[in-house]
Structure 1
Amino acid sequence: MEMENSRWKKNRYAIGVQFLSLSFQSSASTGSMATAIFLLALSLAFPSASLSAVSFSPKDNILIVCGANSLVNLPDGRIFKSDTGSGGHLQAKDSVQLLTDSGDNLPSPLCRTARIFQSDATYSFQLTGAGWHWLRLHFYPINNSKYDLKTAVFSVTTDDAVLLHRFSIDTNQTTGHIVKEYLLNVTKPQINLMFVPVSNSFAFINAVEVVSAPDYLISNSGSSLFPVQAYEGLNQFNYQYVYRLNVGGPPITSQNDTLGRSWENDESYIKNKAVAANVSVPAMVVKFPEDFPALIAPAFVYSSAVRMADAETQQPNFNITWEFKADPNFDHMVRLHFCDILSKSLSDLYFNVYINGKMAISGLDLSSITNGLAVPYYKDIVVNSTLMSNGLTIQIGPMNQDTGSVNAILNGVEVLKMSSSVNSLDGEFGVDGKRASTSNKSTVAAVGFAMMFGAFVGLGAMVMKWHKRPQDWQKSNSFSSWLLPVHAGDTSFMSGSKTSLGSQKSALYSTTPGLGRYFSFAEIQEATKNFDPSGIIGVGGFGNVYLGTIDEGTLVAIKRGNPHSEQGITEFQTEIQMLSKLRHRHLVSLIGYCDENSEMILVYEYMSNGPFRDHIYGKNLPPLSWKQRLEICIGSARGLHYLHTGTAQGIIHRDVKTTNILLDDNLVAKVADFGLSKDAAIGQGHVSTAVKGSFGYLDPEYFRRQQLTEKSDVYSFGVVLLEALCARPALDTQLPREQVNLAEWAMQWKRKGLLAKIIDPHLQGSINPESLKKFAEAAEKCLAEHGVDRPSMGDVLWNLEYALQLQEAFTQGKTEDDSEKSPESMATSPAVVSPLPGEPVVESRELETETRGNGLADIQNTEHSGTNMFAQFAHLEGR
């Protein structure tokens, strides 16, 4: 107890000294030195004001200095015992005690000695309680004539966790004193720390700390970065602290932290120091709520911060950026500390937080969350390893809306590496030699929660629709009511409640020729053999799709809606609105409708070859050639380009995916399923709407901001292009975690210049490299993070046509090389330009111009000629 009291007094004194320096920082600008001294006196007299009045006495406090024969006292008051004969901690066959040959110029008293192991060795520590424990390993390559510790290579494990795998000292370290800090959730009464040197090497250690941590230090809940969803199960991992920063303030040593932690200053991590400014207040100003876990961070972390520099606050897209190195093979938890010490009034500061370029927190209003100013707040965010190929960046920036001060603030950052599926924190193997599993809990959880979120969004939309239903909806004898949105401007059709069904049908047919032919319910029953279940070719939230036969042999797809499904009614209304004004040879055509007996039935052209998806994976169908895939992608792009530009307002499909691209007898692609489509807003850049669509294809900007644009379709189409190239689903949770999301995985390979290694094996050797390059560039542009950086569908179409032209020239060249050509044929064949290395193979400029011209003319063709092939929604699944 005396030792604890002594440490408390020393900590209070040290905190007072640091507090004085912070007070001087705060007061220097106003010249009020007397105020600073007065505040120092208050902090010493009432230390709880600046320390949140919480102390912590660890149940386990095992401090070992290795290789020493006596106690070692640290400046923070902690006392380290020798590992020589101290209760049987060490079990080693051939350990060596090492003493430095240098003088007293050492970074820490713990660096004077070391313990060397030339074979496997174990430290065993008895614990008084389970729960979270800090494990800190100190390494310092002391100078010794016999052993060069910088050459040591070894691994460190516990009974069930890998801490270090083939570890060696980084000679680029400035001080050479390395502290590896872990937070382990210990469930056994003893922790065994094993050192395993590699062959022909040895292991070493300077000091070990095993100290109990507060149970609340890691809560069970946090958030995932993308999509931003709740994340459960954080206390099921082990962690390694990678960074701990006091943002905007001086370093905090173990002397000034009740839990003995060290906090770096953040200055060396800021990308552009000129755009950031430090701000600080006296620590006693920080107000810890009663329910806040006060030891999460010291008051000094919350009493200093970085804000936007005054000269930059008027720039609309300005952010402050911190950059960190991070292991891309592991998920990381980022803990962000906030405390609004900047604002003078409530709800004056709104700002955004980004991690690796993705929105982590949108419109953060600290005063609303904490119900006050200068009140601490922190947030834990899990960043999946697939997002960390280029390290870790944290950014803060204003909302750029009329919401108060144009500023942003950050007080502290902690970055923790999370253990893998085999409980490893270094390397891919666990203690038992098992490799990390192919599935990843964080990825599966994120996808699961994302699907749950989508379900709630859909449920909310259904509830809103239900409350907006017509008052006489139950009295309706026909389903003409679902056609009414098409005739919203037809007053004669809407006038009078006594209009007969026959007159409604007459008005319907005469005023809306886009709806096509009217079918009686008897005709529909005959076409589907009374809705024979064996004729079902598709199922969705709207109901079933049947294969039918009309007019003595013409096949059609008959979509029968469920009147009791709110989703069905909504999607049928949208579908009829869209198809009544659309006609293009790359859009599935509406043939007619039936609205008898409260039925909602639409009749489409039948697409005999079904969804594009079935031809690239999932079915045992003959593989498509690269040219066929390009032609299908081009047809789909033409259909989407027409949607975006072919009507006065423009239409956003909102559910572009390979199951909604159908193929006819000749493999001509047609875009289908307009149940989620939206009219684009005239004169506006976006449509504000609830997020709908299919996961794996969702535009991340649309997901974050709920603002729909035609560029959302462009993003989804980029995923379709990658499916066509790689022959795999957009999301596959059975694959290794870095491969779950096709768009992210393929773009990683694209940036490495190795995309050709992950394409469909059926295409290997048959693709012109320049055609592949142009195709990949088109896909990459479609998948740009921000919609403004994505091309229009017209630009995408042109690039795909160019890729096809390159492929045809390549194929023609191979054919000519494989066959003997007569002089006459050589004279009449089109000229092929021999490119320089790295340039694409193309035919003459006239051919390129002609091809592009035909494509653009084709896009603008909105007329649809008669056809004997009719629409199928085969194998469509509910969203």
Structure 2
Amino acid sequence: MYRLNVGGPALDSANDTLGRNWVSDAQFRNNSTGEEVSTQPSSINYLKSSGGSPLIAPPAVYSSAVKMGDSETTLPNFNISWTMDIDTVYPHLIRLHFCDIISKALNELYFNVYINEKMAISGLDLSSLTNHLSTAFYKDFIVDSTMVSNPLVIRVSPVKDAQGFRNAILNGLEVFRMNNSVGSLDGEYGVDGKKQNGPSKTVAYVGFAMMFGAFVGLGAMAVKWQKRPQDWQKRNSFSSWLLPVHAGDMTFMSSSSPRSQFFSPKNMGLGQYFTFAELSDATRNWEPSEIIGVGGFGNVYYGELDDGTKVAVKRGNPQSEQGINEFQTEIQMLSKLRHRHLVSLIGYCDESAEMILVYEFMQNGPLRDHLYGKDMPPLSWKQRLDICIGAARGLHYLHTGASTGIIHRDVKTTNILLDENLVAKMADFGLSKDGPTTEQTHVSTAVKGSFGYLDPEYFRKQQLTDKSDVYSFGVVLLEALCARPAINPALPREQVNLAEWAMHWKRKGLLDKIIDPTLVGHIDPESMKKFAEAAEKCLAEYGVDRPSMGDVLWNLEYALQLQEASLKGKVEDENRPIVTSISPATTVHVPVVADNQHISSLEQHRDPTEVQAID
């Protein structure tokens, strides 16, 4: 329907690699805020690993673009948009072409892409996708005919909290009409005479009426049916409106349903589908008192299903750009993760504009609540070691369990949850990223995470590796030892940052002076020493000097063995039999020992006038 060379002149078939015609985008561009830019076509690169090829679009398309006319503007709605008329009877495939020809260095450009005012790409980071400037990249989207409106509007705008300069670009745009349900590209009837959505829709209505009538006598079911959305046929599902197709995949014109490919519980591993009414019942109609957590994604509610299963229900905020992006990331990650030390996904709901995930309920909440800030019984040193070991096992699985590994990117004590038996499980994968491939050393991406836990090397270079998680976990270890926040602005300046403050005392050999007072006298010195060494290695300035999570796990298990051996020794000392020896001077009770050092100690304290036999 449309093939636009954005920011450049029209290209005829003689100038295209497949004999296509590209028109200038000027007549479709809505505002004058955009500025046309260009470079030499010979400078454009293609990445074969991501399906890049001049056959997708010629260098002449990628060598021109439209960027923001004033990239430093403070107007929140500043953007560039393109408008095209389409026939909403048909679904459409939209192909967007990008190539960063305006940046001077990597990791400077982050922007959002919208299709008909709905988020299509949040925080598009071309550097992390291509690892080079002037490198072609494209992304395909299917727009469902039942959800799109006319005209079609494509918009790019800067990310509000961009780490680099505020700008956005588009190099090329293609809009394809897709055949309707009867295989037609130009009409409501197919070649076999079938009418679009005719018989099938009638059958669906009759089937629904029969099913509803069969259950009308059951009170409970009737109530639930009344609570179902009345416009269920027209629901504006976030997952059915906009369906991304993998960039570089030339098999996008599949005969199967796009929705079933992208959001099938069977394919995505999302478990059970819940209706919105079911989850409203489970959370007492989203009662505020049932909120057990709040984040950028939205609220987390405690809920109880009809069968008595206790769940945590994460209800996203559809208006939150961060929320949509994190929701999609969490789906992608959880669909391929299953481990004893990762919070399990039970199911999901995507009715209307709702984005809801249902997890197993972690009865004892986040680790942080058990360390400080809440009136809870203090954890023993052994319990803290067990919890840290469980979290380390979960992170070790993330880093090594998938083909490229997964970087959590938000490791902190509020994202380590405890079940009824205090078993630790990692949670919240909304910021997670796939790790670098075997050909890469890092993933270039915008800095995200929590202050106090951020890897300083990642913060400086915007280069993410699994060692960034290791740094954050080192801060978690210090929180478990010292029972105080990673950042506390209320403290004197030298004490604000836990990692810096604790390592200062560690280097002086006086770390025991700042540990949680409830641990004093109950922690084996050797166990604490090994634990502190593990934390110090995690907090190394450079990632290359930090251990892997496997090595951290080994050190923590060793610290636990030292603590258990110490406790066992104390119990044995308390249970040893007593030998009574009688001396003319006095009677002394001496425990039976076989340790020469212990004997020497006893001899130093006994009365020199008494005679004593020690076996």
TM over 0.5, shorter chain? yes
Q: Name the CA shift for 1:466/1:801 in 2 (closer, same or farther; >3 Å).
A: farther
Q: Is the 8 A contact 1:612 1:658 kept in 2?
A: yes
2:467 maps to which residue? Answer: 711
Partner of 2:425: 670
CA distance in 1 between counterparts of 2:483 and 2:426 reads 19
Question: What is residue 609 of structure 1 aligned with on the other side?
Answer: 364
The residue aligned with 1:751 is 507
Aligned mates of 1:513, 1:530 — CA distance in 2: 28
2:236 is matched with 477
Q: 2:497 aligns with which of 733, 737, 741?
A: 741
Q: Which amino acid aligns with 2:275?
A: S
Indicate if the aligned counterparts of 2:367 and 2:417 stay in contact, CA closer than 8 A. yes
Percent of pairs identical after alignment?
73
Please give the alpha-carbon distance, in whole angstroms, between the structure 2 residues aligned to 1:577 and 1:559: 16
Q: Supply the distance in 1 between the matched residues of 2:472 and 2:299 (Cα, whole angstroms).
A: 25
Structure 2 counterpart SS, 1:457: coil
Distance of 2:367 and 2:271 partners within structure 1 = 27
Q: Distance in 1 between matches of 2:163 and 2:502?
A: 30
CA distance in 1, matches of 2:331, 2:240: 12
**Is contact 1:486–1:577 with CA below 8 Å preserved after alignment?**
no
Q: Secondary structure of 1:591's partner?
A: strand
Which of the residues 285, 288, 308 maps onto 1:553? 308
Q: Which residue of 2 aligns with 1:801?
A: 557
Deviation, 1:516, is 1.1
Cα deviation, 1:677-698, whole Å, max 9, x if unaligned, reads 0001202110011111001000
Q: State the SS of the aligned residue for 1:753.
A: coil
- Return the alpha-carbon distance in structure 2 between the equivalents of residues 542 and 691 of structure 1: 18
Tell me by how many angstroms 1:514 deviates: 1.5
Separation of aligned partners in 1, 2:174 and 2:351? 19
**1:582 equivalent in structure 2:** 337
Is 1:534 the counterpart of 2:293? The answer is: no
Residues 1:618 and 2:373 are matched in the alignment? yes
Query: Does residue 788 of the first structure (1) align with residue 544 of the second (2)?
Result: yes
Superposed, 1:716-731 pairs within 5 Å as: 716-731=472-487
* 1:778 has 2:534 as partner: yes
* Alpha-carbon distance change, 586 to 466 in structure 1, aligned in 2, over 3 angstroms: farther
Unaligned runs of 5+ in 1: 1-453, 824-831, 838-879
Per-residue CA deviations over 1:102-124 (Å, capped at 9, x if unaligned) read xxxxxxxxxxxxxxxxxxxxxxx
Q: Which amino acid aligns with 1:779?
A: A
Aligned equivalents of 2:501 and 2:596: distance in 1? 32
Following superposition, the deviation at residue 491 of structure 1 comes to 8.7
1:573 to 299, 306, 328: 328
Q: Give me the whole-angstrom Cα distance separating, in 1, the residues matched to 2:311 and 2:323.
A: 20
Over 3 Å counting, the alpha-carbon distance change for 1:598 and 1:787 in structure 2 is same
Q: 3-state DSSP class of the match of 2:460? A: helix
Unmatched segments (≥5 aa) in structure 2: 1-158, 177-233, 580-592, 599-615
Deviation at 1:530, TM superposition (A): 2.0
Q: Aligned partners of 1:818, 1:649: CA distance in 2, in Å? A: 52
Measured against aligned partners, the alpha-carbon deviations of 1:26-71 in whole angstroms (never above 9, x if no partner) come to xxxxxxxxxxxxxxxxxxxxxxxxxxxxxxxxxxxxxxxxxxxxxx
1:479 partner letter: F
Cα distance in 2 between the residues matched to 1:600 and 1:691: 25
Aligned in 2, Cα 1:492/1:600: closer, same or farther, shift over 3 Å? farther
TM-score (norm 1): 0.39
| 8 Å CA contact retained: 2:243, 2:262 | no
CA distance, structure 2, for counterparts of residue 483 and residue 834 of structure 1: 74
Which of 441, 445, 456 is the matching residue for 1:689? 445
Structure 2 counterparts to residues 100-499 of structure 1, below 5 A: 456-457=161-162, 477-481=236-240, 484=243, 495=254, 499=257
Q: Contact 1:688–1:708 at 8 Å: present in 2 too? A: yes
Give the aligned residue type for 2:320: S
- What amino acid maps onto 1:619 in structure 2? K
Runs of 4+, deviation exceeding 4 Å: 458-461, 463-472, 481-496, 832-837
Distance apart, 1:648 and its partner CA: 0.3
Counterpart code for 1:538: G
Q: Deviations over 1:590-648 (max 9, x none)?
A: 11111111211111111010000000001000000000000000000000000000000
CA contact (8 A) 2:382 2:560 kept: yes
> What amino acid does structure 1 have at the position aligned with 2:505?
W
What secondary structure sits across from 1:745 in the alignment? helix
Q: 1:745 to 1:647 in 2, by over 3 A?
A: same
Paired residue secondary structure (2:162): helix
What amino acid does structure 2 have at the position aligned with 1:509?
A: S
Paired positions, count:
373
Query: Structure 2: how far apart are the matches of 1:788 and 1:754?
Result: 27
Given that 1:466 and 1:566 are in contact with CA atoms closer than 8 Å, whether structure 2 keeps it comes out as no
Q: Could you list the per-position Cα deviations for residues 694-717 of structure 1 after superposition, in whole angstroms to 9, with x for gaps in the alignment?
A: 010000000111100000000000
Name the CA distance, whole Å, in 2 between partners of 1:775 and 1:490. 48
> Quick one: structure 1 residues 818 and 466, their matched pair in 2 at CA, closer, same or farther if it must change by over 3 Å?
farther
- Residue 150 (structure 1) aligns with: none
Contact 1:482 1:569 in 2 (8 A): no
Determine whether 1:596 maps to 2:351.
yes
Residue identity opposite 1:724 in structure 2:
A
* Residues 725 and 655 (structure 1), Cα distance of their counterparts in 2 relative to 1, 3 Å cut: same
Query: 2:162 corresponds to which letter in structure 1?
Result: V
Secondary structure of the equivalent of 2:471? helix
Structure 1 residues 822 and 640, CA gap change in structure 2 (3 angstroms): farther
Q: Relative to 1, partners in 2 of residues 1:480 and 1:772: Cα closer, same or farther, differing over 3 Å?
A: same
Q: 1:651 aligns with which of 401, 406, 421?
A: 406
Task: Please tell me the root mean square deviation across aligned C-alpha atoms, in Å.
Answer: 3.8
- The structure-2 alpha-carbon separation of the partners of 1:609 and 1:470, relative to structure 1 and needing over 3 Å to count, comes to farther
Q: Secondary structure at the match of 2:161?
A: helix
Shift of 1:509: 3.2
- What does the per-residue CA deviation read over 1:409-468, in whole Å, with 9 as the maximum and x for residues that have no partner? xxxxxxxxxxxxxxxxxxxxxxxxxxxxxxxxxxxxxxxxxxxxx98337989x869999
Contact 2:478 2:502 in 1 (8 A): yes
SS in 2 for 1:515: coil
CA contact (8 A) 1:609 1:662 kept: yes
Does the CA contact (< 8 Å) of 1:689 and 1:707 recur in 2?
yes
Cα displacement (A) at 1:512: 1.5
Q: Shift of residue 552 of structure 1?
A: 2.3
1:510 & 1:789 partners in 2: Cα distance? Answer: 42
Distance 1:740 1:681 in 2: 33
Cα pair 2:265 2:272 within 8 Å, conserved: no
Per-residue deviation, residues 296-349 of structure 1 (Å, max 9, x unmatched): xxxxxxxxxxxxxxxxxxxxxxxxxxxxxxxxxxxxxxxxxxxxxxxxxxxxxx
Change (3 A) 1:746 1:470: farther
Aligned to 1:629: 384
Are residues 656 and 834 of structure 1, via their aligned partners in 2, closer, same or farther at CA, if it must alter by over 3 Å? farther
Structure 2 counterpart of 1:656, which letter?
Answer: V
Give the secondary structure class of the aligned counterpart of 2:311: strand
Alignment partners' CA distance in 2, 1:482 and 1:623: 49
Length-normalised TM-score, structure 2 = 0.55
User: How far is the alpha carbon of 1:495 from its aligned partner?
Assistant: 4.5
